[in-house]
Structure 1
Amino acid sequence: MKFTRRSFVKAASLVPALSFTYFSCNDESKIQSPVGEPLPDSMSNLKNMTADVIPISREERLGRIEKAQMLMNQEKIDALFLEPGTSMKYFLDFDFFLSERMVAAIIPAKGEPVYICPKFEEDKVGELVKFGNEIRTWQEHESPYEVVKGILNDLIGSTGALGIEERCRFFLYDGIKNQLSNFRFVLADNVTAGCRMYKSKAEIALMQKANDITIAAYKVVFDSLKVGMTQEEFRTIASQAHQSLGASGSIGANFGEWTAFPHGSSKPQKLKEGDIVLADGGCTIEGYKSDISRTIVFGTPTERQKQVWDLAKVAQEAAFELAKKQGTTCEELDSAARKVISDGGFGPDYKYFSHRLGHGIGMDGHEWTNLVRGNKTPLQKGMCFSNEPGIYIIGEFGVRVEDCMYISENGPVYFSSPAQSIDKPF
């Protein structure tokens, strides 16, 4: 199959149609994209897909806090320090910007969370607090680390173990540590990852929605391919499509020889006939991510392009099939896919398949745990991963096939249906 501008009109039209605001009321003039090109006709078929989205409930977050406290007791951690970021959002539904001033929460192994913020932010923080009700503050000339010390003294005494997540900024850890000479400091990832790594049905549903939306956006942006298209034009259309579908997201692409760089090149590129197009992107729904890669050819694929693409596809299938076997570990999936590619003539080891097989995904696009050599973690229900083998031939082209999956009671399930062939991406 040859991909042209109209190749995906029929596929994109399968997305339920609704007149969208990119068109004027009389439909006589189409709103232009920021790079001056009219948006593709298939954009008019899109509608917001998020009407049935169900946010994470208060009850589920309470269950998360309870599980975290259970894990803290198992790990002999007396309290967990969190600053704004994914984990604070995950447990407390609390979202705040980061700055040089401490805004944080302490979750004790027993009891309710306590929040810390500058005095002048107290009212704003108070609006955001949904779990617990105590906020302790500090004036601009005072030390927030003394506030942390006071909270811990009141909650657990003058000695104990404080868990700090890997993404906590060093200056906060250092300031707290200097105040708490009698405390032991431990990495808290066994608590935070021990909760976040295993997705609930509600989380799986949000991730499924995100993936459905990104696939719909892909159909629009692939329908828009044309000779001379720039990467900026590609991204703009993908972002507009995601927005039309009700999500914040985008898809980036590299063309031709620059697809041999797994995360692309910084060099400006324009699409030409016969180019490999390697696209990668996703969106966010209620904080949960999608991540999908597709590799196609703009024009008619060569035998060489098909051969390399087909081998990556077989590697993806090998990993998925192995994931059906109970007790399989994360590193074994990587090994299965890598063997296919090496045996197919693109080895040894990392020479052409230059990255791990996959990463965990959830509220962060990359999170615990990875499908990589050395990770002996067994696959368990609720884990979510990307499955993305690639073959990158410097000076020629690169191929990656990527779909995310979750582990159900009955084995792995894809969020997005894998591409059938280099010319059938959906």
Structure 2
Amino acid sequence: MTSPSTTPGQPLPFTADDYRARMARAAEAADAAGLAGVLVAPGPDLVHLTGYRPTAATERLTLLVLRAGHDPVLVVPALEAADAAHAAGASALTLRDWTDAVDPYALSARLLGPNGRFAVSDNTWALHLLALQNLLPSTSYASLTSALPMLRAVKDAAELERLAAAGAAADATYERILKVRFSGRRETDVAADLASLLREHGHEQVDFTVVGSGPNGANPHHEAGARVIERGDMVVLDFGGLKHGYGSDTSRTVHVGEPTAEEQSVHDLVREAQEAGFGAVRPGAACQDVDRAARAVITEAGLGERFIHRTGHGIGVTTHEPPYMIEGEEQPLVPGMCFSVEPGVYLPGRFGVRIEDIVTVTEDGGRRLNTTPRELAVVE
């Protein structure tokens, strides 16, 4: 259910009913997997399930406890209880606040029971998990990603709307960055332009602005540095963040001045591989099929050893999350899944090329959430 009121350009807000349904699905998924429940500390899983984002994770325990057949409970420090009570999903759960004079682990242990195996959000502090284990030695724990990897993978219509808006904002950013001058400026200057444009187009958070010029482009996660971009450079651009709480992530490779025949050929190869990866997106296909399709194109051209990362990753309330498009991942694609398709070729000491779109699985194939041209653009 959604609220009828919103402001122009803003998506309809998630409601308590939306969060209630998410928490119920998580508890049911855990039960179906033979788990006693799900334990969620501050982080993206807590935001997704409740709408509550504490100002910071601290040594004070905050823990969402989800168990099939039980009401959701959020254990929260008393000094943060007021903020938690105002979260969008607060009315869908029970708050159990505790003061510094109370043992929060004993409180939580009573909610868990003496035994069972629980899925625990990946960013839970070891301090908290070890304390629970000490009190409940007959319990055991598994990371949420390994136990329930698809918990956030399939997006509903409202989530897809947010992801599409984030993708459109990233596309608008790319179109604008093509008009700025590259040559004679530092990578950090162009990265600052990207960050500014993302914010101008509605991003409340910028997560990364990779600008890899010349040989730096051969490092897929190059941090923009002081290198001055020169005419003749290939430049890898990879940027994204959060808009309306959901992620954008796109990559394009541009060239300063006219490219050489080899540079154009490598770029054409990556573009063909990216198209092949996208073409493999359809319901029922395995995640690894997307990786295989893209990788086969580059391998057949003799550059397989220069494609050194997975073909894609999921995206949602974070810019990297399951599912992952990589060999060995047999999870079938389902309508509503969203992930990147981003093959690349990296020639050490020379240049790199990467092309990335976010795509979503539809009933009969896939749909790109990034639609800017994938041809090699020439910039000044």
TM over 0.5: yes
SS of residue in 1 equivalent to 2:181: coil
The question of 1:342 aligning with 2:299 is answered yes
| Map of 1:410 onto structure 2 | 364
1:338–1:353: 8 Å Cα contact kept in structure 2? yes
C-alpha distance 225-50 of structure 1, shift in aligned 2 (>3 A): farther
Q: Name the count of aligned residue pairs.
A: 369
Give the CA deviation at 1:265. Answer: 5.1
1:260 to 214, 218, 221: 218
Task: Give, in whole Å, the separation in 2 of the partners of 1:117 and 1:356.
Answer: 38
1:116-137: CA deviation from partner (whole Å, max 9, x where unpaired):
2233333333333623453333
1:299 to 243, 247, 257: 257
| Map of 1:223 onto structure 2 | 179
1:357–1:371: 8 Å Cα contact kept in structure 2? yes
SS of residue in 2 equivalent to 1:223: coil
1:101-146: CA deviation from partner (whole Å, max 9, x where unpaired):
1122212212322222233333333333623453333333543211
| Map of 2:3 onto structure 1 | none
| Map of 2:48 onto structure 1 | 90
The question of 1:164 aligning with 2:124 is answered no
Q: Which amino acid aligns with 1:134?
A: T
1:254–1:269: 8 Å Cα contact kept in structure 2? no
Task: Give, in whole Å, the separation in 1 of the partners of 2:117 and 2:241.
Answer: 38
SS of residue in 2 equivalent to 1:385: strand
1:311-348: CA deviation from partner (whole Å, max 9, x where unpaired):
00111111122224x5321112212211211211213x
Instruction: After superposing the two structures, state which structure 1 stretch, 250-259 or 284-293, moved more.
Output: 250-259
2:238–2:249: 8 Å Cα contact kept in structure 1? yes
Map 1:85-234; keep pairs closer than 5 Å.
85-96=43-54, 97-128=56-87, 130-132=90-92, 134-152=94-112, 157-189=113-145, 193-234=149-190
| Map of 1:362 onto structure 2 | 316
Give the CA deviation at 1:310. Answer: 0.1
| Map of 2:4 onto structure 1 | none
C-alpha distance 124-361 of structure 1, shift in aligned 2 (>3 A): closer
Task: Give, in whole Å, the separation in 1 of the partners of 2:49 and 2:341.
Answer: 27
2:19–2:92: 8 Å Cα contact kept in structure 1? no
Instruction: After superposing the two structures, state which structure 1 stretch, 258-267 or 356-365, moved more.
Output: 258-267
Over alpha carbons, which structure has the higher Rg? 1
Unaligned runs of 5+ in 2: 1-6
Q: Percent identity?
A: 27
Task: Give, in whole Å, the separation in 2 of the partners of 1:187 and 1:297.
Answer: 42
Q: Which amino acid aligns with 1:262?
A: P
C-alpha distance 181-292 of structure 1, shift in aligned 2 (>3 A): same
2:210–2:223: 8 Å Cα contact kept in structure 1? no
SS of residue in 2 equivalent to 1:194: coil
Task: Give, in whole Å, the separation in 2 of the partners of 1:137 and 1:59.
Answer: 23
Q: Which amino acid aligns with 2:58?
A: S
TM-score normalised to structure 1 length: 0.81
Q: Which amino acid aligns with 1:137?
A: D
Task: Give, in whole Å, the separation in 2 of the partners of 1:189 and 1:354.
Answer: 23
The question of 1:377 aligning with 2:331 is answered yes
1:47-67: CA deviation from partner (whole Å, max 9, x where unpaired):
xx9714233343322221221
Task: Give, in whole Å, the separation in 1 of the partners of 2:9 and 2:224.
Answer: 38
C-alpha distance 188-238 of structure 1, shift in aligned 2 (>3 A): closer
Task: Give, in whole Å, the separation in 1 of the partners of 2:78 and 2:10.
Answer: 40
SS of residue in 1 equivalent to 2:254: strand
Task: Give, in whole Å, the separation in 1 of the partners of 2:120 and 2:291.
Answer: 30
Instruction: After superposing the two structures, state which structure 1 stretch, 376-385 or 130-139, moved more.
Output: 130-139
Give the CA deviation at 1:221. Answer: 2.0
Give the CA deviation at 1:90. Answer: 0.7
Q: Considering only aligned residues, what root-mean-square deviation do their CA atoms show, in Å? A: 2.3
| Map of 1:243 onto structure 2 | 199
Task: Give, in whole Å, the separation in 1 of the partners of 2:154 and 2:367.
Answer: 14
Instruction: After superposing the two structures, state which structure 1 stretch, 235-244 or 408-417, moved more.
Output: 235-244
Task: Give, in whole Å, the separation in 2 of the partners of 1:277 and 1:283.
Answer: 20
Task: Give, in whole Å, the separation in 1 of the partners of 2:233 and 2:142.
Answer: 50
Task: Give, in whole Å, the separation in 2 of the partners of 1:270 and 1:164.
Answer: 45
2:187–2:225: 8 Å Cα contact kept in structure 1? no
Give the CA deviation at 1:267. Answer: 4.9
| Map of 1:24 onto structure 2 | none
Give the CA deviation at 1:270. Answer: 1.0
Unaligned runs of 5+ in 1: 1-48
Task: Give, in whole Å, the separation in 2 of the partners of 1:257 and 1:161.
Answer: 48
2:187–2:228: 8 Å Cα contact kept in structure 1? yes
Q: Which amino acid aligns with 2:210?
A: G
Task: Give, in whole Å, the separation in 1 of the partners of 2:356 and 2:8.
Answer: 24
Q: Which amino acid aligns with 2:106?
A: E
1:259-286: CA deviation from partner (whole Å, max 9, x where unpaired):
0111115652111111111100113122
SS of residue in 2 equivalent to 1:281: strand
Task: Give, in whole Å, the separation in 2 of the partners of 1:201 and 1:321.
Answer: 23
Map 1:43-62; keep pairs closer than 5 Å.
51-62=9-20
2:314–2:324: 8 Å Cα contact kept in structure 1? yes
Give the CA deviation at 1:227. Answer: 2.4
SS of residue in 2 equivalent to 1:297: strand
| Map of 1:274 onto structure 2 | 232
TM-score normalised to structure 2 length: 0.90
C-alpha distance 104-198 of structure 1, shift in aligned 2 (>3 A): same
